[in-house]
Amino acid sequence: MEAMENRTLGQSGITVSALGFGCWAIGGEWQDNDGNPLGWGKVDDEESVAAIRRALDLGITFFDTADVYGTGHSERVLGRALQGRRDEVVIATKWGNTLDESTRTLTGTDDTPAYARRALTASLRRLGTDHVDLYQLHHSDAPLDRAAELRDACEEFVREGLIRAYAWSTDDPERAALFAEGPHCAAVQHACNVLEDTPEMFDLCAERGLASVVRSPLAMGLLTGKYRPGGRGAAGDIRAVPPAWLRWFGAGGAPSPEWSARVDAVRDVLTEDGRTLAQGALAWLWARSPHTVPIPGFRSVAQAEENAGAIAFGPLRERQLQEIATLLAA
């Protein structure tokens, strides 16, 4: 097994652990304008803080959040957990959505440069810091002409010392390439996991020297082994009332039989060498590209320990990578 080393975010010089932690789930419950859940259910803030600090002790230095997660709550919890240890970590957050903190509701989007500045100011306040290391556009399908303006706004934020680098959270390589034209664009955040490869995005990261910050590396929990056919999501959990883009779960939170079958097909390979299923899924991403920084979510100290434990195993071997590709193509 090959030991994991740190990653650099693009050409920024910002070094992070090869594994980051995504802070969506610790934002707690929130909703869209129609009352549909956008969080992962109820959370215990004390457990979230303990999990973040445990992750730090285990060598995790990269934490990814967004202003809209819990309509500000995730940023506040992260900021609280990192008090006194800010210099040890790299913080990424996102903007582009509008929110009502009093009702914990996502209210829409705003792709204006003026809003980007207001959102950044609010995020800095909630996080309790004077700068964000990686600032990411969270409006995944913003028009290209407006995105160019937002890229220029990010360059201004860099000049002012408010951020160190920026990225776009999008699954569209064309949009990611537009942001990559900016001197301080360091990454693209995109969805990928062993069940759904993204070769175009990995090629773009290699060509442009970008880090690949990978969200949904565990397919929203499907690749943890926790969810089985016939299972049900809890109230307040986005998986219980899955939006159209959340393909891995059906109504009520039951895993899709199609996707569950794909997990079963690769389970034995992923769990070779003593890995858990989740650790194997993370190892696949590291083997898939040297630019990847997976950011699995967490809500407990136990989850933090399991995810961080993947680092000791390192990436899958080439033979395992090829075997998985063959199994999923069958």
Per-residue model confidence as pLDDT tens digits over 203-214: 999 999 999 999
Query: What's residue 250's pLDDT?
Result: 84
Report the pLDDT value the prediction gives residue 304, as an integer from 0 to 100: 98
In the three-class reduction of DSSP (H, G, I as helix; E, B as strand; rest coil), residue 255 is classed as strand
For the chain, the average pLDDT equals 95
Under 8 Å between Cβ of 216 and 192: yes
Domain 7-227+278-314 is of which CATH architecture? Alpha-Beta Barrel (3.20)
- What single DSSP character describes residue 67? T
- Taking each helix axis from N to C end, the angle separating 301-313 and 45-57, rounded to the nearest 10 degrees, works out to 20
Beta-carbon neighbour count of residue 60 at 10 Å? 23
**Nearest residue to 129 (alpha-carbon basis) of 89, 90, 86, 159:** 86
Q: What are phi and psi of 286, to 5 degrees?
A: -65, -35
Per-residue confidence band for 242, with pLDDT thresholds at 50, 70 and 90: confident
pLDDT of residue 231 exceeding 50: no
The Cα 282–Cα 227 span in angstroms is: 17
Q: Residue 232: pLDDT above 60? A: no
| Spatial CB neighbours of 189, under 8 Å, sequence gap ≥ 6 | 64, 92, 136, 167, 168, 169, 170, 213, 214, 215, 295
C-alpha 304/C-alpha 55 separation (Å) is 6
Q: Where are the domains of the chain?
A: 7-227+278-314
Whole-angstrom distance, CA of residue 63 vs CA of residue 23: 7
Share of residues in the chain with pLDDT > 90 (%): 89
Find, among 151, 170, 205, the residue nearest to 8 by Cα.
Answer: 205
Contact predicate 185/262, CB 8 Å:
no
How do beta strands 132-137 and 163-169 pair?
Answer: parallel
- 268's tokens: 């034995």
Each residue of 153-166: pLDDT tens digit? 999 999 999 999 99
Q: Is residue 262 within 8 Å of 269, Cβ to Cβ?
A: no
What's the CA gap between 226 and 36, in Å, rounded? 23
| Contacts for 314 with CB less than 8 Å, ≥ 6 apart | 1, 2, 3, 4, 283, 286
Q: Which residues of 299-328 are buried (b: 16+ CB within 10 A; e: fewer)?
A: bbbebbebbbbbbebbbbeeebbebbeeee
pTM of full prediction above 0.85: yes
Q: What are the tokens at 248?
A: 């891995």
pLDDT at residue 114 tops 60? yes
Model pLDDT for residues 184-225, shown as the tens digit of each residue: 999 999 999 999 999 999 999 999 999 999 999 999 999 998
